[in-house]
């Protein structure tokens, strides 16, 4: 049940943390099909004979605007003048009280004190609970307070209930609400019709939505758009196009829904054709194209469309930044973020910063990462939720600042398995094996179930520290307790761990016990261990096995050549090199990646052909001079 006491001086500290506005820009590309939001002004035409609209108390109700202090003052006046129970006054009081999340419990309490509340007041509270992202509380309020007070729902109530059911992913509640419309004779109302069409599509109940459309009593543009959008989002794009072609009229929503539908199934040509044919485009049209190209990793085309946009919003920037982070073009992601800040077209939100922090982490741009951390602290509207907190601590961990990563980790009110994994791998990367294990144990104590990636992290820690016993323990724990079947990555960690410890025979036995065909990477790890421990016999056998699996891979040739060279077997070295020439294999020149004032420099090993070689050599020379000065040589 919904436990909200009836006292008007109820404090809200216990639930205030859960009350926050819904961010409509947070996810993807919003389709503005206005079937949920219906303003209900029925009270303006009611009660005028009893209470004039010009009454001073009515005007003063507008000044509440979410202020509890102001509400308490007016509340006492309503009681004093005998207007507390009047539907028009009560409705306005609740409507203006529900502007602030901290006042919602008081709005509910006010509702509970009314002898005969009506649907308008009930709808006002329901709408406020939805606006502040509390669909569970809204459903409880409806069942225990609205129906408990014998309030008769109206045609404004059921679109709200349809939305609540969709948000809660509860088809049962949705179907019950739809059944109630039939009992109350409201099933033919246009708002009700459209809302349940949309709801059924959100559950993938295409047949139910289609039946509602076929049995419709009346229709408007919103009805047609709901069908086009619903079919498109369920990947039934041919049916969406059929409805689109039959529409008596179309608006931007119609065109945008079809374009997004085509992009969603990869039919780029059809999407482009519609985009060109549109009589007028809005920012959603452009965003649909950018998003479609980005999801198909058509990076250059997505960027071209992005640059051509007449104007951009937060969704535009978040889409393009997320694309560059996903395709690992981190430098371009950071450059675009700087452009976003400079142009001030949009203000970054949490989704923006997750993409940029991912880029910072992967190029170890600690300076930019710290700037973003400061930005989060200064902007109180940006919540350090699981995604953003995990991205921030990962950035610090990859840059080697584990103290800061731990501070972020401890501050986070909520953690998921990715958060725990990020801390474990961060400790493992920097040789803090004890801390990695301690975090793993805390994870179990807190009831967060490890997944396959958790064990890759902890096995990596064992590998870095050469902890063979602990590695076997984790490998057994994963299979026996958590029922996680080892993948190539887990076997790779164990082969590497055993190989580094010189347990080459154990490593070979483990590979041969793998149920499926061992991946070449496992034999490669064993071959590297053979080189390290100068085991020529096993090394030759492993190399031959590898060459059977991947004859065009240069790696086994190089490793085998190095094994022979370490033992002075130069004739065997020449033979391996001759085999490489016969197979037309050439060793790829290595390079390192350096972030120098946001310049992506990749100097080649053993070469001086880089187009920015003068900058590189000048910087290296200066580093050498400073080191000599520091060492006093």
Pair 202, 171: CB distance under 8 Å: no
Nearest by Cα to 600 from 375, 299, 370, 328: 328
The pLDDT of residue 188 is 85
What is the C-alpha separation between 508 and 371, in angstroms, rounded? 48
The pLDDT of residue 562 is 74
CA angle 319/295/293 to nearest 5° reads: 85
How far is residue 161 from each of residues 142, 190, 396, 566, measured CA to CA in Å?
9, 15, 44, 75
Where do we find the tokens 């805390």?
Answer: 442
**Exposed / middle / buried, residue 67 (Cβ in 10 Å: 0-12, 13-18, 19+):** middle
Q: Supply the DSSP string of 391-433, one letter for each residue.
A: HHHHHHHHTT-HHHHHHHHHH-S---HHHHHHHHHHHHHTT-H
The pLDDT of residue 91 is 66
Could you list the mean pLDDT of each consecutive 10-residue stretch along the chain, which spans 633 residues?
34 35 40 45 44 51 54 58 61 68 77 82 88 90 89 92 94 94 89 92 93 82 92 94 94 94 93 94 94 93 95 96 96 96 93 96 95 93 92 95 95 92 91 91 90 91 89 92 91 90 88 82 81 79 75 70 73 72 55 49 50 63 66 55
Structure tokens at 590: 């290595």
What is the C-alpha separation between 48 and 54, in angstroms, rounded? 10
Nearest by Cα to 499 from 559, 565, 576: 559
Pair 258, 240: CB distance under 8 Å: yes
The pLDDT of residue 72 is 58
Q: Supply the DSSP string of 82-116, one letter for each residue.
A: T-TT-HHHHHHHHHHHTTSGGGHHHHHHHHHH-SS
The pLDDT of residue 62 is 53
The pLDDT of residue 520 is 80
Q: What angle, rounded to 10 degrees, do the helices at 157-168 and 119-131 form?
A: 30
């Amino acid at each position: 049940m919904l436990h909200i006491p009836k006292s008007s001086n109820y404090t809200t500290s216990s639930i205030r943390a859960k009350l926050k506005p819904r961010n409509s820009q947070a996810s993807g590309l919003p389709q503005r099909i206005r079937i949920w939001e219906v303003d209900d002004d029925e009270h303006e035409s009611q009660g005028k004979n009893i209470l004039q609209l010009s009454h001073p108390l009515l005007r003063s109700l507008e000044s509440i605007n979410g202020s509890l202090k102001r509400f308490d003052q007016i509340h006492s006046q309503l009681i004093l003048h005998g207007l507390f129970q009047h539907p028009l006054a009560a409705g306005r009081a609740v409507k203006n009280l529900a502007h602030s999340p901290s006042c919602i419990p008081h709005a509910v309490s006010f509702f509970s004190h009314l002898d005969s509340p009506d649907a308008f007041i009930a709808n006002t509270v329901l709408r406020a609970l939805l606006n502040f992202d509390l669909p569970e509380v809204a459903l409880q309020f409806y069942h225990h307070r609205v129906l408990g007070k014998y309030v008769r729902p109206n045609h404004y109530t059921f679109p709200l209930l349809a939305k609540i059911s969709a948000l809660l992913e509860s088809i049962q509640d949705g179907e019950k609400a739809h059944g109630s419309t039939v009992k109350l004779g409201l099933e033919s109302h246009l708002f009700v019709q459209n809302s349940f069409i949309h709801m059924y599509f959100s559950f993938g109940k295409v047949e139910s939505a289609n039946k509602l459309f076929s049995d419709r009593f009346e229709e408007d543009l919103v009805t047609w758009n709901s069908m086009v959008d619903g079919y498109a989002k369920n990947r039934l794009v041919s049916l969406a196009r059929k409805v689109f072609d039959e529409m008596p009229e179309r608006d931007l929503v119609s065109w945008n829904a079809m374009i997004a539908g085509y992009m969603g199934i990869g039919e780029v040509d059809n999407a482009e054709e519609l985009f060109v044919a549109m009589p007028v485009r809005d920012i959603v049209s452009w965003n649909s194209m950018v998003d479609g190209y980005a999801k198909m990793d058509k990076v250059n085309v997505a960027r071209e469309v992005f640059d051509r946009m007449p104007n951009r919003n937060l969704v535009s920037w978040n889409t393009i930044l997320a694309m560059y982070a996903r395709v690992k073009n981190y430098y371009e992601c950071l450059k675009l973020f700087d452009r976003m800040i400079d142009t001030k077209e949009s203000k970054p939100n949490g989704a923006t910063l997750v993409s940029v922090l991912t880029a910072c982490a992967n190029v170890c741009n600690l300076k930019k990462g710290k700037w973003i951390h400061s930005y989060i602290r200064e902007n109180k509207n940006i919540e350090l939720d699981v995604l953003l907190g995990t991205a921030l601590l990962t950035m610090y961990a990859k840059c080697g600042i584990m103290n800061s990563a731990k501070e972020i980790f401890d501050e986070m009110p909520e953690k998921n398995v990715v958060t725990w994994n990020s801390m474990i791998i961060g400790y493992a990367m920097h040789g803090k094996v004890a801390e990695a294990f301690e975090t793993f144990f805390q994870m179990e104590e807190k009831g967060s179930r490890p997944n396959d990636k958790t064990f890759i992290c902890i096995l990596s820690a064992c590998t870095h520290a050469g902890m063979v016993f602990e590695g076997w323990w984790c490998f057994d724990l994963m299979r026996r307790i958590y029922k996680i079947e080892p993948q190539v990555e887990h076997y790779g960690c164990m082969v590497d761990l055993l190989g580094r410890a010189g347990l080459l025979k154990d490593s070979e036995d483990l590979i041969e016990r793998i149920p499926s065909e061992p991946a070449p990477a496992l034999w490669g790890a064993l071959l590297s261990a053979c080189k390290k421990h100068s085991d020529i016999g096993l090394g030759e056998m492993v190399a031959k096995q590898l060459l059977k699996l991947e004859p065009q891979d240069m790696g086994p040739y190089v490793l085998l050549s190095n094994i022979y060279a370490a033992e002075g077997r130069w004739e065997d070295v020449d033979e391996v090199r001759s085999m490489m020439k016969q197979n037309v294999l050439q060793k790829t020149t290595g390079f390192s990646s350096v972030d120098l004032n946001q310049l992506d420099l990749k100097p080649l090993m053993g070469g001086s052909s880089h187009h920015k070689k003068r900058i590189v050599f000048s910087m290296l020379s200066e580093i050498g001079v400073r080191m000599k000065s520091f060492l006093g040589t």
